[in-house]
Amino acid sequence: MDYLEIVGGKKLSGSVTISGAKNAALPIIAATILSDKEVTLSNLPNVVDIRTLLKLLTMLGGEVDHTETVAHIDNGSIHSTKAVYEIVSQMRASILVLGPLLARFGECEVSLPGGCAIGQRPIDLHLKALESMGAHIEIKGGYVRAEAPNGLTGAKIIFDKITVGGTENIVMAAALAKGTTTITNAAKEPEVVQLCEMIADAGVKIEGIGTNELSIEGTGGKPLNFKRVEIIPDRIEAGTYLCAGAITNSSITLNKVDPEHIKASIDKLESMGCSFDISDDSITIHPVADLKPVNLITIEYPGFPTDMQAQFMALAVIAQGESLIEERLFENRFMHVSELNRLGADIWLKGSTAAVKGVENLYGADVMATDLRASSALVLAALAAEGTTNVRRIYHLDRGYDDLEGKLSALGADIVRKKESH
Ligand code: UD1
């Protein structure tokens, strides 16, 4: 198993190019199932989750030609509609094939994803919505078995909670359903918007893109013909590099970003004392020596993203004063707290709120990554800590950060990937 050895205290400088968004690419790859022709996707991030989902497509019979950032996918040859446990258990987002497989083939079996480190993460809202579109769903042997032999029918869906994956699954299912589907309380994250635009560009009429109210006129079973899609920049990767600048008190420039998508993080960094030069597709951060504390609550887009909570906690740990961080989306997304405390942080948890008292110094130690974003918080804290930190179990990082150590090294960080000796 690999780990990262980081010697803290180095200033960063220069520029970093942000990769395509993992969370945009995953639903877009799943959406290619709605087509029986070749689709080309570009600006894919070079991360494990993307390779896992592409592998699932090949297991279903699709033809995939994938280099680092480009994939040509032809799902005309799909001969199986079963997404097996071996893949789904590696990556929850595989559940995104449920809607498109059912819509195109009238049946499918997808392994239940189960829980994960950040909480229970049920898929009840996905299933309930598909049932209102006429699907018959049964859970048996750890699999969701879904059938709609005469195709799905448009329906009025009201989500009890805003769900990104649920909205994406239903938009994809609705694209091939008979008639119109409306989704109330839809997610409006930029990744959902790009999926809707891809489907709309293929000729499906979608109203309300980027709002909480979507209306989709399905094709009645006719597969779609997609244009080439260039994946949007990863707003979470971008936010993480802004935090890397802030935590090391360094000025760095991010290229190929969409500043509009990271407003919530920029606002919070400004409240902590950082300043920025912003153009259409690049951002330079100018930090301050003494970061101010921050209060934040995670919420749906355009609010502060749960996927940036851990990284901001790493910043709060060295801020001058006490910060309050409340996690509203996932019940168990504080696994990084005890690891940050091992580096010298002073964090107290009460329910879904963390009280973070800023400390003068962090000190390098051995720490363990627990989930994707928690891992990046540990890397950030290590960049600011005195001495050497070993961040273990970095397979979490490899799922979602494209060449993190390469990009940080190029900015001047002392970070090396090593192999455990046992
Ligand atoms: C997506 C992102 C993830 C991000 C999350 C919230 C991808 C691949 N992942 O995850 O990085 O942290 O959005 O922005 O895009 N819920 C239910 N029932 C359901 C579905 C969801 O109760 O059927 C709950 C979840 O447990 C959670 C909340 O709704 O509390 C939001 O989850 P959701 O938006 O669905 O997250 P994901 O799509 O899994």
Say how many Å lie between the CA of residue 236 and the centre of ligand 1: 15
Closest to 325 in 3D by CA, of 345, 302, 304, 301: 304
**Which residues, in sequence order, are CB contacts of 88 under 8 Å at separation 6+?**
94, 95, 110, 111, 112, 113
Q: Provide the pLDDT for residue 246.
A: 98
Q: Provide the pLDDT for residue 115.
A: 54
Q: pLDDT tens, 148-194?
A: 999 999 999 999 999 999 999 999 999 999 999 999 999 999 999 99
Q: How many C-beta atoms lie closer than 10 Å to residue 289's C-beta?
A: 7
Say how many Å lie between the CA of residue 360 and the centre of ligand 1: 36
Q: pLDDT tens, 280-293?
A: 999 999 999 899 99
Mutate to test the pocket of ligand 1, among 161, 169, 372 (most ligand atoms within 8 A of CB): 161
Cβ proximity of 346 and 357 under 8 Å: yes
**Which residues, in sequence order, are CB contacts of 301 under 8 Å at separation 6+?**
187, 188, 189, 190, 264
Q: Which atom of ligand 1 is nearest to the CA of 373?
A: 11
Residue with tokens 């909670």: 161
Position with higher pLDDT, 249 vs 142: 249
Rounded to an integer, what distance in angstroms lies between the CA atom of residue 78 and that of residue 406?
37
- Place 118 in a pLDDT band, splitting at 50, 70 and 90: low
The number of CA neighbours under 13 Å toward the Cβ of 220 is: 1
Say how many Å lie between the CA of residue 163 and the centre of ligand 1: 5
Cβ proximity of 29 and 267 under 8 Å: no
The binding-site residues of ligand 1, defined as CB within 6 angstroms of any ligand atom, are 23, 26, 93, 121-126, 161, 163-166, 191, 306-307, 329-330
Determine which residue's CA is closest to atom 29 belonging to ligand 1: 163
Q: How many C-beta atoms lie closer than 10 Å to residue 300's C-beta?
A: 19
Active-site pick, 116, 196, 243, 274: 116
Determine which residue's CA is closest to atom 26 belonging to ligand 1: 121
Q: How are beta strands 229-230 and 38-42 bridged, if at all?
A: parallel
DSSP conformational letter for 121: -
The number of CA neighbours under 13 Å toward the Cβ of 276 is: 23
Closest to 245 in 3D by CA, of 407, 353, 104, 98: 407
DSSP conformational letter for 364: -
For the segment 66-89, the average pLDDT, to the nearest whole number, is 95
The number of CA neighbours under 13 Å toward the Cβ of 25 is: 30
Backbone angles phi, psi at 60, to 5 degrees: -80, -15
Q: Provide the pLDDT for residue 122.
A: 87
Rounded to an integer, what distance in angstroms lies between the CA atom of residue 175 and that of residue 154?
9
Q: Provide the pLDDT for residue 117.
A: 60
Say how many Å lie between the CA of residue 167 and the centre of ligand 1: 10
Q: Provide the pLDDT for residue 46.
A: 97
Q: Provide the pLDDT for residue 113.
A: 82
Rounded to an integer, what distance in angstroms lies between the CA atom of residue 44 and that of residue 62?
18
Mutate to test the pocket of ligand 1, among 329, 334, 375, 397 (most ligand atoms within 8 A of CB): 329
Determine which residue's CA is closest to atom 12 belonging to ligand 1: 307
**Which residues, in sequence order, are CB contacts of 334 under 8 Å at separation 6+?**
327, 349, 354
Average pLDDT, the chain: 96
How would you list the strands of the sheet with 275-278, edge to edge?
14-17, 252-255, 282-286, 275-278
Say how many Å lie between the CA of residue 121 and the centre of ligand 1: 7
Say how many Å lie between the CA of residue 123 and the centre of ligand 1: 9
Active site residue 116: yes
Q: Which alpha helices (H) appear in 61-97, and where do they start and end?
A: 85-88
Determine which residue's CA is closest to atom 15 belonging to ligand 1: 23
Q: Cα dist. 390→238, 240, 366, 397 in Å?
A: 23, 19, 5, 14
Determine which residue's CA is closest to atom 7 belonging to ligand 1: 23
Residue 1, pLDDT > 90, answer: no
Rounded to an integer, what distance in angstroms lies between the CA atom of residue 110 and that of residue 143?
5
